[in-house]
Amino acid sequence: LDPAALYTALDRLPDTDAPTLVVATAGTTDTGAIDPLPDIADVCDHHTATLHIDAAYGAPLLFSDTLHKQLHGLDRAPTVALDLHKLGWQPVAAGLLAVPDSAALAPLAHQAEYLNADDDTEAGLPDLLGRSFRTTRRPDIFKIAVTLRALGRRGLGDLVDHVCTAAQHLADLIEARPGLELYARPTISTVLFRPTGAPPAAVAALRRRLLHHGTAVLGRAATPEGLWLKVTVLNPHTQPDDLRGLLELVEGHTTP
Ligand SMILES: Cc1ncc(COP(=O)(O)O)c(C=O)c1O
């Protein structure tokens, strides 16, 4: 999200009392890119727009002693979404909405006599309706709480560091192979690459060959530069040999 383009777009909005919401991303699904959060927050302040940050993928960088710096500006958003099914190693569903003050959840308030009668709430019985629109749901927070207790911030930070280092290593290996082309150095743990100069149809067919062959299930991502194979490194046991082996598979299936 380009802050200058955002500034222009907000400037052009008609003058109304309607609220404006800007959604920035910390860790896009396609490339793992992190928007320039402080600049976007400045633009939102200037235009009195509310900022929400989708940090589903990127938020757990906060656990890392070094990588947390990439999320500078995250604290400027009154609401942040994170999803610990990625860099939190949880089974789905593990999405969270984080707010600095539970008063921000007031719009979720709902009263149903049979669920949260006022006198019950006043008598101290828990009232969960103000936390979600959904009344029936699994206790998703339980597994997250167990992980946080078992591994702690440092334990999770070590796993985050490991997969981000592995992604940098994978990028090094790709750059060292003339037959492969790297999209860009990874921001988090997502690495995009393809056989050098391969057109979109060839990349898509290569991905399907690997899939049908049962040897590698790679993601795909489209950018203005074409189509790419996508590896999102999330397994904290990944070793350099696994990454080398993956690239050999890709090279071995490049021609049908
Ligand atoms: C950037 C981003 N936002 C949000 C989500 C999750 O959205 P949902 O909870 O709707 O599955 C994902 C993927 O899991 C994602 O990559």
| Ramachandran area for residue 242 (φ above 0: left; ψ -120 to 50: alpha; else beta) | alpha
C-alpha of residue 81 to centroid of ligand 1, in Å: 9
**134, burial (CB in 10 Å: exposed 0-12, middle 13-18, buried 19+):** exposed
Question: What are the sequence ranges of the domains in the chain?
Answer: 3-147, 153-252
Is the CATH number 3.40.640.10 carried by domain 3-147?
A: yes
CATH of 153-252, one of 3.40.640.10, 3.40.50.2300, 3.30.2130.10, 3.90.1150.10: 3.90.1150.10
Q: Nearest to residue 162, comparing CAs of 83, 235, 68, 62?
A: 235
* Predicted local distance difference test score (pLDDT) of residue 11: 95
Ligand 1 midpoint to CA 188 (Å): 15
Q: Which of 72-76, 96-100, 166-170, 209-213 has the lowest mean pLDDT?
A: 96-100
Centre of ligand 1 to C-alpha 86, Å, is 9
Rounded to the nearest angstrom, the distance between the alpha carbon of 238 and the centre of ligand 1 is 23
**pLDDT average, residue stretch 91-102:** 91
57 lines ligand 1 (CB under 6 A): yes
Question: Same CATH fold, 153-252 and 3-147?
Answer: no
- Supply the pTM of this predicted model: 0.92
Give the model's confidence band at 248: pLDDT under 50 very low, under 70 low, under 90 confident, else very high: very high
Pinpoint the alpha helices (H) of the chain: 3-11, 37-46, 113-116, 118-122, 140-175, 200-213, 240-252
- Work out the end-to-end distance of the chain between its first and last CA atoms, rounded to an integer number of angstroms: 38
pLDDT, tens only, 165-186: 999 999 999 999 999 999 999 9
- Among protein residues, the one with the nearest Cα to ligand 1's atom 10 is 95
Is the predicted pLDDT of residue 132 greater than 90, yes or no? no
Q: Residue 79 has what pLDDT?
A: 95
Counting ligand 1 atoms within 8 A of each CB, the residue from 23, 25, 28, 29 with the most, and so the one to mutate, is 29
Cα 81 to chain centroid, rounded = 9
Dihedral over alpha carbons 105, 110, 115, 120 (to 10 degrees): 70
